[in-house]
A and B are shown apart, each in its own frame.
Chain A
Amino acid sequence: MVKAEHNTPTAGDITAANPHMRARGVNVYYGGKQAIFSVSVDIGRNEVLAMIGPSGCGKSTFLRCLNRMNDTIPNCRMDGEVTLDGDDIYGGKLDVVELRARVGMVFQKPNPFPKSIYDNVAYGPRLHGLVQGRAQTDEIVQKSLHRTGLWAEVKDDLGKAATGLSGGQQQRLCIARAIAVSPEVILMDEPCSSLDPIATARIEELIDELRRHYAIVIVTHSMQQAARVSQRTAYFHLGRLIEVGPTPEIFTRPQHELTENYLTGRFG
């Protein structure tokens, strides 16, 4: 019976109206153990895709496939196809450096560099040579901090250590750092899991703001958060993508029994 469940193809509609990234038949293996089973899903422009599911269901692993962060894990192997604007990100055409400049990432635990606030935001633009001179850098730092709502709070302390900020500020700084290189897609791996409810609310507002410019994929443990911030929701279970669809539909009329069980709190 379990086996039958596992062979169920993804319920709902995996496609997006205006896809920016596209994953087809993605399998991921850690050594001999398969962690992701044939996941296919689209990531649409200007929309937030939330990925939910119980712990260990593979949602973070799948997220890391989208900017090849899994490359850094020894013994991790993947197959299947992931495209960004039609280009295969695992093919030879797209360099991993370019990919990560176009697909930014925000991690679970705020991880600012132990440098100044300014240097944190300026790191990406300087790294990729997007800015020449102090004036341009100043401008991009200011713009990114404005966009994350951090400017008013830190504008007098740009030279201070980023590690001195509060957890929520640090996470917004990490978002500012990610958007400073003007990526097309932002991946967020449980960005609020280490934050208090007020900081969480700020980040969620920010995500909604950012949606106007970027495609966003967010992994979250909180179903409420998925309901609040996302337009589409994907439910993962034991490495499989069980169901994906517009968020209101998933939450009100889940098609798959597992999705319904999870949403009604029967497990997870």
Chain B
Amino acid sequence: MNDASQTVSVVRAGLHKRRAAERRFRLAGAAAVAVAALFIAFLFTVIVKNGLPGLWQTRILLTVELPAAEFQGRGEAALKGANYRKMVRQSLLGLFPDATTRGERRAAAKLLSEGAPYQVRRAVLADPDLAGGALTLWLPAASSVDIFHKSGAGGGKLSDWQKQKVAQLQAAGRLRTVFHRGFFLNNDSRSPELAGIRGALAGTFYTLLVTLMLSFPVGVAAACYLEEFAPRNRWTDLAEISINNLAAVPSVVFGLLGLAVFINFFGLPRSVPLVGGLVLSLMTLPTIIIAARAALRSVPLSIRQAALGMGASKMQTLFHHVLPLSLPGILTGTIIGMAQALGESAPLLMTGMVAFLVNTPGGVLDPATVLPVQVFLWADSPERGFVEKTSAAILVLIGFLVAMNLLAVIIRAKFQKRW
């Protein structure tokens, strides 16, 4: 047997084992991907299933009698001060003549949301001619009715008598489920059926605005300096290590830092987007610096040489060529950093952006909360109705995150560099 034929036979003998090993490896990889995909699918199914009903609201058709006797006095004060609660209650009880005992009357009144009288009041204030007449409109049902109606069975806190009344309303065509715009247009509330994310959205906007305004210029400038100008020595090495370590610091630690420095030392107010944005910039900076440095480094040396060879100074080379060419990469990194900041709640809990607020913040110095913290607050609430609100808010949050990441992908793909 010569050497060549021996090689062939040995290789052939081992071939089966090699192929089997490769198949096993590929199978394991595919299995890992499948498990990950399964988890994501499960997560999204649960959130969508819980959250979508939160965007719908059950309403009750009611004709509210507005007897002129209730509007004694003159002008706007009478309109504002009238007892709408009583009028709504009376009108509602009119639908249930069989509610005779005190307990039944109270149970019937609880079918409507506590926010219903305010809605009537708003309508009357908008159109004072209604006073003395009657007003027919769809008023929000109480959270328990909402859940019972939407989920069909169960019904949690409703008594049998109440369930019977709901069925009556349904049969009379006085019950319907509509898209709940209030979820986006209302501020937070103690009543789940009235609570919305408007305040949290505004707070998120101001907080991220502060974060972007601070971390983008500072991050890009730092990256440019470190990458293009800084001498290589112990100090710049130290700065580099610090930046990389900073990216790995748990976010709650940044919150403590913000509390100690911005609030306690500098005396900035708590609960405001300014402080939240400052803390989040500290957190986002390393991400932006690292991404920007990578983007700057990816601009080929030949471009820099071409510019320098033409007599451009270092700064001209940077601003005319290197920075514009690396901008897509820098923007991608910035968007990913901002998406991180958008999803962050722990550091904001530390700086007090966790308050229950019923006003929409109007600037960076108004007390505010943000979307993830709103999710945290609602998840913490005992009312059954907040479960779907929590999931709905998570849906909105994930929607924003997906949109931002998609934008990053699009920017990267569209401005793919070609030299």
Interface residues of A (CB under 8 A from B): 67, 69, 72, 74, 96-101, 104-105, 107, 109, 111-114, 123-124, 127-128, 163, 174, 177-178, 181
Stretch at the interface among B180-188, B260-268, B300-308: B300-308
Q: Are B303 and A113 in contact (CB under 8 A)?
A: yes
Which residue of B303, B308, B419 contacts A100 across the interface (Cβ within 8 Å)?
A: B308
Binding site secondary structure of chain A? helix
Stretch at the interface among B42-50, B189-197, B309-317: B309-317
Q: Are A109 and B302 in contact (CB under 8 A)?
A: yes
Which residue of B313, B321, B417, B418 contacts A113 across the interface (Cβ within 8 Å)?
A: B321
Q: Which residues of B contact A127 (CB under 8 A)?
A: 310-312, 316, 320
Q: Are B311 and A107 in contact (CB under 8 A)?
A: no
Q: Are B310 and A123 in contact (CB under 8 A)?
A: yes
Q: Which residues of B contact A124 (CB under 8 A)?
A: 310-311
Q: Which of B225-240 contact A (CB under 8 A)?
A: 232
Which residue of A69, A96, A98, A163 contacts B305 across the interface (Cβ within 8 Å)?
A: A69
User: In the bound complex, what is the Cα–Cα distance between A267 and B310 (angstroms)?
Assistant: 36
**Nearest opposing residue in chain A for B418, CB measure:** A163
**Nearest opposing residue in chain A for B309, CB measure:** A105
Decide yes or no whether B120 CB sits under 8 A from chain A. no
Decide yes or no whether B285 CB sits under 8 A from chain A. no
User: In the bound complex, what is the Cα–Cα distance between A105 and B316 (angstroms)?
Assistant: 18
Q: Which of B376-419 contact A (CB under 8 A)?
A: 417-419
Q: Can you pick out 11 interface pairs between chain A and chain B where the beta carbons lie within 8 Å of each other?
A: A67-B309, A69-B309, A105-B309, A107-B302, A107-B306, A111-B302, A111-B305, A111-B419, A113-B306, A114-B418, A163-B419
Decide yes or no whether B325 CB sits under 8 A from chain A. yes
Q: Are B303 and A111 in contact (CB under 8 A)?
A: yes
User: In the bound complex, what is the Cα–Cα distance between A98 and B312 (angstroms)?
Assistant: 10
Interface residues of B (CB under 8 A from A): 232, 300, 302-313, 316, 320-321, 325, 417-419
**Nearest opposing residue in chain B for A98, CB measure:** B311
Q: Which residues of B contact A128 (CB under 8 A)?
A: 311
Q: A100-B308, A123-B307 are in contact. List 12 more A-B contacts (CB 8 A).
A: A69-B308, A74-B232, A97-B312, A107-B302, A107-B305, A111-B303, A113-B321, A114-B417, A127-B312, A128-B311, A174-B306, A181-B310
A-B contact count (CB 8 A): 64
Contacts A101-B311, A124-B311, A181-B311; A114 near B419 (Cβ below 8 A)? yes
User: In the bound complex, what is the Cα–Cα distance between A69 and B301 (angstroms)?
Assistant: 12
Q: Are A112 and B311 in contact (CB under 8 A)?
A: no
Max count, chain A CB within 10 A of own CB: residue among B305, B306, B307, B312: B306
**Nearest opposing residue in chain B for A110, CB measure:** B302
Which residue of B232, B309, B321, B325 contacts A107 across the interface (Cβ within 8 Å)?
A: B309
User: In the bound complex, what is the Cα–Cα distance between A107 and B418 (angstroms)?
Assistant: 19
Distance (Å) between the CB of B313 and the closest chain A CB?
6
**Nearest opposing residue in chain B for A105, CB measure:** B309
Distance (Å) between the CB of A158 and the closest chain B CB?
19
User: In the bound complex, what is the Cα–Cα distance between A127 and B320 (angstroms)?
Assistant: 10
Distance (Å) between the CB of A217 and the closest chain B CB?
14
Q: Which residues of B contact A181 (CB under 8 A)?
A: 310-311
User: In the bound complex, what is the Cα–Cα distance between A114 and B305 (angstroms)?
Assistant: 14
User: In the bound complex, what is the Cα–Cα distance between A75 and B308 (angstroms)?
Assistant: 18
User: In the bound complex, what is the Cα–Cα distance between A178 and B306 (angstroms)?
Assistant: 9
Q: Which residues of B contact A104 (CB under 8 A)?
A: 309-310
Distance (Å) between the CB of A84 and the closest chain B CB?
13
Distance (Å) between the CB of A167 and the closest chain B CB?
12
User: In the bound complex, what is the Cα–Cα distance between A72 and B309 (angstroms)?
Assistant: 11
User: In the bound complex, what is the Cα–Cα distance between A178 and B419 (angstroms)?
Assistant: 19
Q: Are B311 and A100 in contact (CB under 8 A)?
A: yes
Q: Which residues of B contact A69 (CB under 8 A)?
A: 305, 308-309
Q: Are A72 and B306 in contact (CB under 8 A)?
A: no
**Nearest opposing residue in chain A for B304, CB measure:** A72
User: In the bound complex, what is the Cα–Cα distance between A104 and B309 (angstroms)?
Assistant: 6
User: In the bound complex, what is the Cα–Cα distance between A32 and B313 (angstroms)?
Assistant: 28
Distance (Å) between the CB of A131 and the closest chain B CB?
14
Q: Which residues of A contact B307 (CB under 8 A)?
A: 113, 123
